[in-house]
Structure formats: structure tokens, C-alpha cells
Structure 1
Amino acid sequence: MERRTFLRASALGASTLAFTGSLWQDALAAPAQNAPGPYGALLAADGNGIRLPAGFTSRVIARSGQLVPGTSHTWHSAPDGGACFADGGGWIYVSNSEVNPGGGASAIRFDSSGGVVSADSILSGTRQNCAGGATPWNTWLSCEEVSLGYVYETYPFGGPAVRRPALGRFKHEAAAADPVRKVIYLTEDETDGRFYRFVPATWGDLSSGTLQALVAGSATSGTFTWADVPDPDGSPTVTRSQVSGSKSFNGGEGCHYAGDTVWFTTKGDNRVWQVDVAAGTYELAYDDSLVSPGTAPLTGVDNLTGSAFGDLYVAEDGGNMEICLITPDDRISPFLRINGQGSSEITGPAFNPAGDRLYFSSQRGTSGSSSGGITYCVTGPFRT
């Protein structure tokens, strides 16, 4: 497959560091293949049960049902999608709660050395908030993974959350903002889900606009167009059935945008899709059935994020509880593995603004219950 090379995207400023920065040199040419990781082999598990390459360390940030250390805020159950926002010299990590009813999202604020300053709730009373995405104007889009679910715009820096029905009612999973085309991409967690984009009437205001679905053939690569969804409310006809010729994706999950490319995962077929939104083409960045040599390292694809260097970090829901790394030159390898938590899933990977800390959660921890979630931070020599 022809490799496409992109110029590094311009840094979008501190307000957009929630989507991990951003200077990307190359878009991934699909599909990725097994190779040694850039940081070397995984070492024996540390005291937190996490296997990491040499030079990296982990620590526990919060546990479900317990006070976030140094604060009066009780960390939510089933921590899921997350993102980081620059906050002066420090940063904020936000995390969803994938329980129904109750849902919502919380935020932890850190100082410049990574110490916890405070924590609080930024959304409550919602349903099964799974993934989401950050916006360039420093809000977090928290998505309900239920039939006719909503997207809620939350405010980590203060202010009440707002329901955004214009982004459509369906089983939402993740969102990713594209400041070049001024749109929001959205995934749908259905076996015949669609890949959407929302075009706001005014960039920065999600109260009104147009929801569109990607239209393409049935192949795993090709060209695409966008078509309007006539009734984003999804009733009586669900949104995924409204656009003739819209492409079906098997269980949309995580979504990440950088440098004219958007990547998203589909759990039903263990794929990472790569969409060149400038050229209007799509292809596979990863497919577990096409990996060689050896067995596929990444199964149960779920949340994903990207580093400033251009590496993708893809978390597993199942598999052997790994975050796998896909490099810009199409190599895939395990970056970390959590031992002893086989009944959980890894969620919410996100880098702090400097790119030297990776936050993520084990949604059900060692207990296998939503009340046993653990949120971690890994620090080390990430390449930037």
C-alpha cells in the first residue's frame, strides 16, 4: 500500500494539549506488523503489577470508592475515557465513569511536579459515560454508551456541564476534534455502527450544526465522502440507518486526530482504521488477522491516544491487558502489561502536556468489579 507522508502539524498551543500535543511527522501506513518496541522488552512486574520497559515507573493515582489522596473527592467507579489539559504550569486529567445509572466524569488537578492539588466531579447523573474527547477550547466531551445516548460538554476549568443533542443520539463512544476542518469526529459502539463527523454552525459552539456519516464501499481501503444525517435525534429511525451508502464499522471505540489524519478502533474485528481527511481516503493501520511474523500482540482494541513523536498507544479491553504501541513506521509492540487483572480492561490513556507522563486506568482492577477501578500514571523517557 502506498505510504503517505505528512508535514508535521503545527503545535496548536496549550489549550489543545488535551489531544496529546502534536507534532506528527508521518501518518501510519497500514497495516502495522510485529517488531521490537522502541523502548526494549518489558521487564518483570513492578510493585503495582505493571510490566514496563527499562527506565519507566508506575504509581497509583486514585482508586474507585476511595478519596483521591490529598483531596476530599471520592474517585468514581469504572474509570474509562480520559484526557489531559494544560493548566498553568500543571495539568488536569479528566476521566469518565462507565456505570449506568450514575455515570459522569471527574477531574484531578496536578501541579508542575505531578503532585495532586485537587479533585472534583465535572459531570453527574448521566448514563454509562464511556469515552469522549477534548476540544481546543478546553472542554471535555463525555459520551454516553447507551442507545440514544447523548454527548455532554463538560468544563474541567469550572462551569456546569451541558447536553449537546446536536451531536446526535446514538450509542456514543469516542470523539476527536479537528481544528483544521473545524469538525468533531465521533465513533458508534454498535456491530453495524457508523463513523460520523459533526460540523458546528460556529466553531467553538456545539449547540447547533450538522451531523454527517462517512460514505464508502465495503472494502478495507478506498475513498470516502460525507453525507448529512437527516434526523440526528435517532428516532424513530436510528442514525446509522439514515444515510444510504454509509459505511458500517464493527464496534467503534477510541478515536484520535493529528496532522490531517484521524484514527479509530473497532473492537468487533480488532482493527485500527486510518482516515486521511485531507485526501479523502481510508485504510487499515492495524488488523490482528494480518500481523506477521508471529501472533498479533493487540486484541480487544479500545481507547487510544498519540504522543508528540507520532506513536499511537492503543489500550486493550481484554487480550492480556496491554497498551500496545504503533510507530510511524508501522511497527507494533507491547508498551506495558498489567498482571493479575484479567477481568478488567485498560482505559483512558492520555499524556500530560510535557509528554513524559502517561495516565490510564484499569477499569475493574484486581477485583473484576466496577468498584475496583485503579487509575495509574507511568513516567519515563517517552520519545518526543
Structure 2
Amino acid sequence: MDRRRFITNVVAIAGPFAGVACAGAQGGAKPVRGYGQLRPVRDLRDGKVRLHLPDGFKYRSFSVAGDKFSDGSAVPGRHDGMAAFSGPKDSAILVRNHEVNGPVGAFGDKDKAYDPMAGGGTSTLQVTRYGEVIKSAPSLNGTMMNCSGGPMAWRAWVSCEETVNGPDVADDFSGGDNSKLTKKHGYIFEVPLGRAATAKPIRSAGRFAHESAAFDPSTGAIYLTEDNFAFPSGFYRYLPPKHPVQAGRLLDGGRLQMLAVKGEKRKDLSVGQRPGTAYATVWVDIDDPDPAFTGRPANDVVIQAVGKQGREEGAAIFSRLEGAVYHQGTVYFVSTQGGVNAPGDTILSGFGKGRGQVWAYETWSGRLKLAYESPRSSVLDLPDNVTASKRGTLVLCEDGDGDNYLRGLSKAGEIFDFCRLEPIAGDDGAEFAGSTFGPGGHTLYVNIQARTGMSIAIWGPWERGPF
């Protein structure tokens, strides 16, 4: 059995899970049950093997890039973050991001687009528990690099732009011509289920490389992650002027803050952490969350403009913050390249040399805890999106160098392999994204982000393991 497909090395650390035992370089061996060995399983849609799953699990892919929405327009690619809401008759309502960069033109109805030149946005689908599409449509268009986001308690999705492209900024790494864009990008947008999206950015929540959003129902705060590949990233919270559940929507005009470690200015949390690490925290204000620029400054300058304000006030430093999820008073968020580079692992480019950390911020206590740090790529390789099951087990989507997995991190602290992505010929960059459990926990919906992206419904004997 491949060691990447049934991991057995774990060590105990103190963390947000009661009595957690998390993988680390200092650990002894302990068997991890998970759901058992993975085997190739054929897609019920067309018979192709796309996933390797434990015995008893089945799946169907749907809404492939290039397919048609119910209105006849084409489904865009680069499927990314996603959330599932309850729909009629045991169906699920999925809101899904499309991480499309560059001035390639909006999908769907361009008259409704925020920026008719931008090709990203979201789609909304009603599907059965078995991945059969009932209806589908574009729900937000004309945005850009919609990477992740998060579900909101008032039946809405917040979509995040992982870019600061715009006509006021020099071109980014992709080589796209920003002068063709008509609007500034780098914001978050609300996508409600019961009404049309306004396509109005929440500018007070900042203009930076937004990744994920996690809502705290007790305070109304929205916690935001930043994925700044080449530079330090920060952990933020947006405090709307009115509790969104009371307002029925997300209002602009609030306050943006950045997390700092109490008593330790600019604490570098991107490096390896000792097992049991926990910090008291404070929040620092961002005075100018949506700064104006003149003369089309370099993209690298603009993408750091908000974060630098926070770090000047002492905000903590992270490496590539990506997925985030709220669960029972705690926001779990992922640092994709946090930690230490293990001997034998490839040295990574970008800011941060580790293979991934999972952090836990307790909204009720203000404590920040290390939930997990990967000891090497064979155990966990560059985690990205994250979700939680009803039992509190985390699902981590990998975006690694080799085979990519859906890995589980149980409340007992065990990391295990649940699903492996079959390599896609000619597309080494294919990865998992957007994992989310449907109503009642019957189905795990997940995306394959690839040149020809798609969504997948997975179901089976969940009761047999920690999900």
C-alpha cells in the first residue's frame, strides 16, 4: 500500500480538537483508520476513472466546463470554491466560483456583468444528491479570479477575488492587458440565493488577494484570508455596520481589521511551529482598505498595499492563507506553504517553504492555535480549500506537486486519505477545490479545477469513518 494512500504517522499536540493527535516530525506510529484503502472507481456519468475512493463509495461528475447552463450559455472553467445549501425535495443548491483571470470577456449576460471584460464569477446549480443537474445559471459575472469565499447564514455566498487587477494597475504575472478592464478588482461580492446578485463590491472589506470568507453568526464578523503567493499574507476580519442576519444582506461601510499576536509585533507564523503552539491575539485596524493609486503602479506594489498597513501596526505574518471554514465557534484556516521544508522535499517558490498548516482561531476567546502542521509532502502536500463535516472532521483539498488527495483531519487528530485524483493527461495542474457537504451530509460535493473543470458528487457509507 502506498504510504501516500494510507498514512500512519501521527503525534499528539494540544489544539482546538479535544485531545488532538496531529502529524509531525516528532511522532511515533499510530494506525489511522479513515475509510480504508483507495481503489479506482468509475464515474457514473461516463464510465471513466477520475477518482480513487474507499470501498462502498460512488460518484458522478456534472456541470463540465463547456456544458450549457439552463439558459443556454456556456459553463466557464476553473471551478473553485463552492458551498451547498438545502433545496426542495432533498436537492442541494450549489454556488460555485470560477477562477478565471485576464480580460477574456464575461460569461453569461454581459449586461449584468460587474466588468464586461472579466471572465470570472459564480454559477448557481440545483442538483440531486447523486449529482444530477436540475437547473443551472450564471449568478455573478464580470468578476475575476474568484478563488474561494464562504457560505453565509442568511442563505448567501460571499465570493472572493484573488487579484488586484484593474485599469489602474500594471499587468500581473499572467500577461493579461489590464488596460482592457473597465473596473478595479480585488474585492468580495455577495451572491444571495433568493434574489439576483447586485454585482457591487464590498469595498470596505479591502482590496487585496482575497481567498476565503467564514461567517461568525454570534458577532456578524466575516473572517477573510489572503493568498499572496510571493509576499506575506494576513488573516483579516470585516465588521459590517449591521449584523448581516438582521440586515438580510452584507452591507458595505464597515471596518477591516488584521490579526496580530499579542505582545509580539509582526510575529512570523509562516515558519515551523512547535506542537501545542497557541497565541493570544489582538486586532489592528486598516485605515485605508481601498487605497487609490496613480500612475498605474506595479501589480506587486498594489497587492501588498493593504497588508502592509496592518503589518506596520504589528499584524502577524502567514504564508499563503487559502481555505477557511467556521465550525462551532472556531474558524479553521489553511496556510498552504506554512511550516518547515522537510529533507528530500522540493524547495518551493513563493513566500513560505513548508507543506501546509491548519490554524484554528477561537472567535469566543481570541486564541489562535495550531491544529496541524505537515511534516512532509507525503503526509499532506499544500492544502487549499477546507470544509468541515457535521462531526467536525475537516476535509482538506490538496494542491500539491504530485498526486492530489482529499484528506481528512479527524477530531482525534488523525490525518487520512479519503480520495485521490486520477492524473489528467496533459494537465499536471489539476487539483481538488470547493469541497462541501450537502444537506443532511449524504453527499460530498467537490470540484476538479482543471483546463476542463467539473463538479463531482460523492456518496457512500460515511458512518463507517470520521466524516
TM-score by length of 2: 0.71
Aligned residue among 113, 121, 129 for 1:104: 121
Task: Quote the offset at 1:138 in angstroms.
Answer: 0.9
Match of 2:159 in 1: 142
Rounded Cα–Cα distance in structure 2 between residues aligned with 1:2 and 1:49: 35
Indicate conservation of the 8 Å contact 1:318/1:344, yes or no.
Answer: no
Rounded Cα–Cα distance in structure 1 between residues aligned with 2:253 and 2:324: 22
Match of 1:160 in 2: 197
Rounded Cα–Cα distance in structure 1 between residues aligned with 2:123 and 2:19: 33
Match of 1:170 in 2: 208
Match of 2:78 in 1: 78
Question: Structure 2: where are the runs of 5+ without partners?
Answer: 1-11, 25-29, 43-47, 102-117, 165-184, 245-249, 294-303, 339-355
Judge which range, 138-147 or 85-94, deviates more.
Answer: 85-94
1:321 has 2:404 as partner: yes
Aligned residue among 181, 195, 202 for 2:242: 202
Q: Cα–Cα, structure 1 residues 157 and 112, in superposed 2: closer, same or farther, change >3 Å? A: farther
1:222 has 2:279 as partner: yes
After the TM superposition, which residues 268-347 of structure 1 pair with which residues of structure 2 at under 5 Å, given as runs? Answer: 268-269=337-338, 270-289=356-375, 296-319=378-401, 320-341=403-424, 342-347=428-433
- What root-mean-square deviation, in Å, do the aligned CA atoms of Structure 1 and Structure 2 show? 2.3
Indicate conservation of the 8 Å contact 1:274/1:282, yes or no.
Answer: yes
Indicate conservation of the 8 Å contact 1:48/1:58, yes or no.
Answer: no
Indicate conservation of the 8 Å contact 2:41/2:58, yes or no.
Answer: no
Match of 1:213 in 2: 258
User: 3-state DSSP class of the match of 2:254?
Assistant: strand
Task: Quote the offset at 1:363 in angstroms.
Answer: 0.8
Q: Cα–Cα, structure 1 residues 297 and 201, in superposed 2: closer, same or farther, change >3 Å? A: same
Indicate conservation of the 8 Å contact 1:144/1:172, yes or no.
Answer: yes
Task: Quote the offset at 1:111 in angstroms.
Answer: 4.6
Rounded Cα–Cα distance in structure 2 between residues aligned with 1:170 and 1:28: 37
1:251 has 2:320 as partner: yes
User: 3-state DSSP class of the match of 1:273?
Assistant: strand
After the TM superposition, which residues 13-52 of structure 1 pair with which residues of structure 2 at under 5 Å, given as runs? Answer: 26=17, 29=20, 31-32=22-23, 35-46=31-42, 47-52=48-53
Judge which range, 176-185 or 31-40, deviates more.
Answer: 31-40
Aligned residue among 362, 373, 380 for 2:460: 380
Q: Cα–Cα, structure 1 residues 325 and 234, in superposed 2: closer, same or farther, change >3 Å? A: farther
Aligned residue among 101, 106, 131 for 2:148: 131
Task: Quote the offset at 1:133 in angstroms.
Answer: 0.7
Rounded Cα–Cα distance in structure 1 between residues aligned with 2:19 and 2:137: 37
User: 3-state DSSP class of the match of 1:125?
Assistant: strand
Q: Cα–Cα, structure 1 residues 155 and 285, in superposed 2: closer, same or farther, change >3 Å? A: same
1:136-170 Cα shifts (integer Å, max 9, x gaps): 11111111110260101112333133321121111
User: 3-state DSSP class of the match of 2:240?
Assistant: strand
Match of 1:15 in 2: none
Q: Cα–Cα, structure 1 residues 296 and 234, in superposed 2: closer, same or farther, change >3 Å? A: farther
Task: Quote the offset at 1:72 in angstroms.
Answer: 3.6
Match of 1:95 in 2: 96
Rounded Cα–Cα distance in structure 2 between residues aligned with 1:226 and 1:317: 30
Indicate conservation of the 8 Å contact 2:59/2:457, yes or no.
Answer: yes
- What percentage of residue pairs aligned between the two structures are identical? 32
User: 3-state DSSP class of the match of 2:197?
Assistant: coil
1:238-257 Cα shifts (integer Å, max 9, x gaps): 11111211001111100011
Task: Quote the offset at 1:31 in angstroms.
Answer: 3.7
Judge which range, 126-135 or 46-55, deviates more.
Answer: 46-55
Indicate conservation of the 8 Å contact 2:204/2:255, yes or no.
Answer: yes
Task: Quote the offset at 1:2 in angstroms.
Answer: 6.9
Task: Quote the offset at 1:279 in angstroms.
Answer: 2.1
Rounded Cα–Cα distance in structure 1 between residues aligned with 2:223 and 2:407: 23
Indicate conservation of the 8 Å contact 1:37/1:335, yes or no.
Answer: no
Judge which range, 312-321 or 33-42, deviates more.
Answer: 33-42
Equivalent residue pairs, number:
353
Task: Quote the offset at 1:317 in angstroms.
Answer: 1.2
Aligned residue among 319, 327, 333 for 1:264: 333
Task: Quote the offset at 1:356 in angstroms.
Answer: 1.3
TM-score by length of 1: 0.85
Q: Cα–Cα, structure 1 residues 114 and 301, in superposed 2: closer, same or farther, change >3 Å? A: closer
Task: Quote the offset at 1:129 in angstroms.
Answer: 0.7
Task: Quote the offset at 1:259 in angstroms.
Answer: 1.0
What amino acid sits opposite 1:303 in the alignment?
Answer: N
Q: Cα–Cα, structure 1 residues 208 and 98, in superposed 2: closer, same or farther, change >3 Å? A: same
